[in-house]
């Protein structure tokens, strides 16, 4: 191993991964994913789909999850910077409803492993960002769920500058709070 460093956080299952970067005057090289290294680090999942999005500053995507076809995700930023967030939705989890967030950027090259049954979202902090993620199940458009990005019961501390204009999709403006979701 040695090609990645894996850190855990206060929410079991979430893992911050930092790859080893080999750089010289030409630039750099790094392995962004190697099944055996991830398996040895306790992430044996098999990924079946890769996705990539591009967004401008102020775009807030999320908080999304798949209902009947949950996905583990491995997320990273290849250009720019985002504040990435995962919220624990696992029934019976001692950290149910708690969130974890960190800055992912092309500079720090960190990745976040997000297990199944977490809601996920991110806020673009740079002028432009490209975000990629690997998933363990295919996307099913009729299976998407979501939670309001500013749910007071969760209390995510988004790093929103005073002059930042937030940009949302129509559906991301309409998601319920976690409490409303539980009442359904």
Point out the residues that are catalytic.
64, 133
Q: Does residue 40 sit in helix, strand or coil?
A: helix
42 close to 76: Cβ distance less than 8 angstroms: no
- The CA-atom distances, in angstroms, between 52 and each of 4, 43, 117, 132 are 22, 21, 21, 4
The DSSP bridge partners found for residue 64 are 120, 146
- The CA-atom distances, in angstroms, between 132 and each of 5, 66, 68 are 19, 17, 23
d(CA 11, CA 37): 22
d(CA 52, CA 159): 23
**Nearest one of 144, 153, 141 to 175, comparing CA atoms:** 144
């Amino acid at each position: 191993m040695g090609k990645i460093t894996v850190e855990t956080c206060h929410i079991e299952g979430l893992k911050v991964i930092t790859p080893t970067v080999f750089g010289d005057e030409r630039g750099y090289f790094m392995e962004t994913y190697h099944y055996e290294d991830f398996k040895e680090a306790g992430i044996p999942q098999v990924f079946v789909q890769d996705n990539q999005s591009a967004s401008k500053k102020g775009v807030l995507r999320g908080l999304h999850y798949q209902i009947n076809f949950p996905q583990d995700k491995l997320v990273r930023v290849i250009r720019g910077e985002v504040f990435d967030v995962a919220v624990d939705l696992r029934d019976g989890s001692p950290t149910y409803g708690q969130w974890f967030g960190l800055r992912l950027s092309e500079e720090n090259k960190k990745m976040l492993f997000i297990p199944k049954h977490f809601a996920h979202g991110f806020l673009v902090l740079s002028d432009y960002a490209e975000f990629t993620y690997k998933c363990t199940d295919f996307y099913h458009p009729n299976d998407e769920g979501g939670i309001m990005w500013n749910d007071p019961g969760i209390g995510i501390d988004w790093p929103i500058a005073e002059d930042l204009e937030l940009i949302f999709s129509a559906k991301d403006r309409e998601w319920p709070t976690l409490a409303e979701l539980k009442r359904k």
